[in-house]
Structure 1
Amino acid sequence: MALHLWFTFFLAYLATTMTPGPNVLLVVRNALRHGPAAMGATLVGNLTAQLLVVTGVAFGVGALLVAMPSAFLALKIIGAGYLIYLGVRQLFGRKVANNAAEVAATSSPLAKWRIAAEAFLVSISNPKSMIFLCAFLPQFLQADRSVPVQFVVMYLTIAAVVISVHAVYCYTAFRFSKRLGAAYWVALIKRLSGALFIGLGLRLLTARAL
């Protein structure tokens, strides 16, 4: 991929990532509730899903999903249902515990795997992500260069952008939590993220393939 084309891709994907979505909400919530290790686990789950999505786009799965309305509808319902489930659990789940207790509760490898699995499911269950990348990534391919290498470069760029943007969101939220009080801020994030997850799930139900 030529340098100028890569830079255009970088700026375009950065612009799309700056808009908060389910993945941003999830990583901020986990970072505030469980600490930096949970943020890392969330990013691992998210980027693993993104790797599968980019691979699927490279093999034409995204185009196949667009061409099969029933498959798109099924994946859309699954994704929307999971987001709504997360939102309801956030709004009506147990009261937020002490921050130190939350961090200690996620110190085990099993707890980190659960956080990563949740992030993976949130990211992979959104069919709009694959369809967006299916339309977005091919615009930056050059026919005279290795296609697999170009997809690898684009995925590494996506990973770098996601890590950077999510880290900025988490740092900003952490700074605000220090000013407002950690318990208050975590409880507020819990309620807001619950409502937003439900809203995003309902919005996903009305989404079209194109």
Structure 2
Amino acid sequence: MRRDRGDEITPAGYRAAMPDSAEWLVFLSATLVFAVVPGPGMLYVIARALSGGWREGVRSVLGTAAGATVHVVAAAAGLSAVLATSATAFTVVKLAGAAYLVYLGVRALVARDEGARVELGEAASQRRGRATFLQGVVTEVLNPKTALFFLAFIPHFVHEDRGSAPLTFAVLGVVVVGAAMLADLVAVTFAGPLGQRLARDPRWRVRQRVASGLTMIGLGGALVLAENA
């Protein structure tokens, strides 16, 4: 059946579906608080920056941001609701994410100390960069708490009666991801250079690797204990 012209969603309708001025203030304030308070994502990128330096930290941030964006798209499309309503789906994703974090942590613990970090060739550097980015993506995609956060927070600011709810949800989700990414980049800005300086000391290299590995194993354990809220 054809839709009447009055039923079409116009650009003005899209804008109307967005929060009003007062709601934007609340939304941005809450987003800022969520972004700057250290959570699993920030702890993960700090651990990577301390163990691999500023570049590795930035690549991890970009990876976790891309993974969070996957959750935004899935939530906007209604797919993330499956995690909120299905205990089995939530548990499967949760355990997969925890296992992956523990794997990364154990690999860091058993890695050989190859001495002070040396300049890699261009091909090797690109491979390492891709691997770090993809690890960040997988780590965030396999965190079901990220999906539940978007489902619990963003709908309060979406006006379904005014326009396209999925589009509004996606826009607000990208704003949240962007704020979290900026906060993580600030953390990496401080952690990365510190990690590079400490890497010159053989004893600190070992401590860095152990601390990074234990942090990721701890994050995996925390994810295992997470409950479907």
The whole-number CA distance in structure 2 between the counterparts of 1:106 and 1:25 is 29
Residues 171-210 of structure 1: pairs in structure 2 closer than 5 A: 171-174=189-192, 176-177=194-195, 181-184=198-201, 187-210=206-229
Per-residue Cα deviation, 1:156-196 (whole angstroms, up to 9, x for no partner): 31232122211211122245457x74435655443222112
Using the size of structure 1 for normalisation, the TM-score is 0.83
Distance 1:162 1:191, change over 3 A: same
Q: Post-superposition shift, 1:124?
A: 0.6
Counterpart position of 2:8:
none
1:32–1:186 Cα contact (<8 Å) kept? no
The whole-number CA distance in structure 2 between the counterparts of 1:56 and 1:43 is 20
Counterpart position of 2:41:
23
Q: Post-superposition shift, 1:126?
A: 0.9
Per-residue Cα deviation, 1:78-110 (whole angstroms, up to 9, x for no partner): 111111111112222222642344x65886333
1:23–1:119 Cα contact (<8 Å) kept? no
Q: Secondary structure at the match of 1:120?
A: helix
Per-residue Cα deviation, 1:103-132 (whole angstroms, up to 9, x for no partner): 658863332211111001111111111112
Q: Post-superposition shift, 1:36?
A: 4.4
Counterpart position of 2:80:
62
Per-residue Cα deviation, 1:57-92 (whole angstroms, up to 9, x for no partner): 112222211221111111111111111111112222
What is the aligned length?
208
Aligned identity (percent) is 28
In the alignment, does 2:153 pair up with 1:136?
yes
Letter in 1 for 2:221: L
In the alignment, does 2:89 pair up with 1:83?
no
183-192 or 147-156: bigger deviation: 183-192
Letter in 2 for 1:66: A
Distance 1:162 1:80, change over 3 A: same
Q: Post-superposition shift, 1:34?
A: 4.4
**Which residues of structure 2 form unaligned runs of 5+?**
1-17
Specify which of 116, 130, 144 is matched with residue 113 of structure 1.
130
> Max radius of gyration: which structure?
2
1:34–1:106 Cα contact (<8 Å) kept? no
Counterpart position of 2:141:
124
Q: Secondary structure at the match of 2:112?
A: coil
Counterpart position of 1:9:
27
167-176 or 122-131: bigger deviation: 167-176
Q: Post-superposition shift, 1:137?
A: 1.3
The whole-number CA distance in structure 2 between the counterparts of 1:5 and 1:136 is 13
Q: Secondary structure at the match of 1:111?
A: helix
Distance 1:171 1:65, change over 3 A: same
Q: Secondary structure at the match of 1:60?
A: coil
Q: Secondary structure at the match of 1:61?
A: coil
Using the size of structure 2 for normalisation, the TM-score is 0.77
181-190 or 152-161: bigger deviation: 181-190
Per-residue Cα deviation, 1:34-53 (whole angstroms, up to 9, x for no partner): 45443443233212211110
